[in-house]
Structures are given as structure tokens and as C-alpha cells.
Amino acid sequence: MAATAEQIRRLRRMIAESTDATYYDSTLSEYIERYPLLDAQGEEPYIWNSATTTYDDNDDWVATYDLNAAAADIWEEKAAAVAGDYAFSSDGGSFQRNQVYEQYMRTAGRYRSRRSMTTITAKKYPEETSGLVPSWLGNGPEIS
């Protein structure tokens, strides 16, 4: 299940990269596909195959992804690229290049805080799979 061209275009707008000079479509697709979600019908992207004890692709799932989580990852990557920039003064001017890093991290935090809510259903493991425990909510607010 691959990310659609529209999802890639939307992610490009979210990360302020209008061309593929830095991020190819295939790279953005990989970022997007890291964050599959339940689709509108409640279908999961993968289903448990008890015969093979593996997860298989769910053919009924409509490709639905969390673009905010993907955008946050990319903004953090962009911040890492400029993390070594520093502030300096020269010829009466003051240059605050480290502000770029701070802005990129604020943007990453903004998208990280907008990611989709997810739950995890914990199962008894390995043999006792019949008893489910309550789901755990795993999306807290970002600290800036």
C-alpha cells in the first residue's frame, strides 16, 4: 500500500519543499508509510495471520496515513542539518543563524502535537492471547 500522489503533494506543502531537490517523492512516500492509520471504515492496515503467526497486508484497508507525524520527522531531520549553525557578530552586524534550528524544532513540535491519536491493545504474551487488557492512549502533548 503506497502513499498516493496527493498525500506526497500535501506533505511537500507541510514541509515547505515545493520541489524534489532535497526530498524525492519516493523518500517522502517512505516517511508517510511509517505512519499507517485505521481507514474510514475502521480497517487496520495489517491483520494477524494465526496460521503463520505473522501480520499480513489487509486488502480491505484504504491507504490512510498520519501526515502530521511524517512532517514532524522531516522537520526534525531538517533541524539536525542546521544544528551546528551558530550566532556570531562581524563588521558591526549580528548574525543569529541558530534561530533556524529553533524555528525548525518549533515547527516539528507543532506537527508532532497534531499527529493522530493512537491506541495499543496489549495482549498476554506469548501463549495467553485470549485475555485482553484495556487499551492505552499514547499521544501526549508536546513540551516546547
| Amino acid in position 5 | A
Residue 76 or residue 47, greater confidence:
76
Burial status of residue 30 (CB atoms within 10 A of its CB: 0-12, 13-18, 19 or more):
middle
Q: Model-level pTM?
A: 0.74
Overall average pLDDT of the 58-78 stretch:
95
CA-angle at 72, arms to 14 and 116, nearest 5°: 90
pLDDT at 43 over 80: yes
Residue 67: pLDDT over 60: yes
Answer yes or no: are the C-beta atoms of 136 and 119 closer than 8 Å.
yes
Q: Is the pLDDT of residue 2 over 70?
A: yes
Q: Which three cell numbers stand for residue 110?
A: 507543532
Q: Which residues contact 137 (CB under 8 A, 6 or more apart)?
A: 117, 119
pLDDT digits (tens, 9 = 90+) for 83-99: 887 777 777 777 777 78
Q: What's the pLDDT at 75?
A: 97
pLDDT band at 136 (very low <50, low <70, confident <90, very high): low
Beta carbons within 10 angstroms of residue 47's beta carbon:
13
User: Three-state SS for 107?
Assistant: helix
pLDDT at 20 over 70: yes
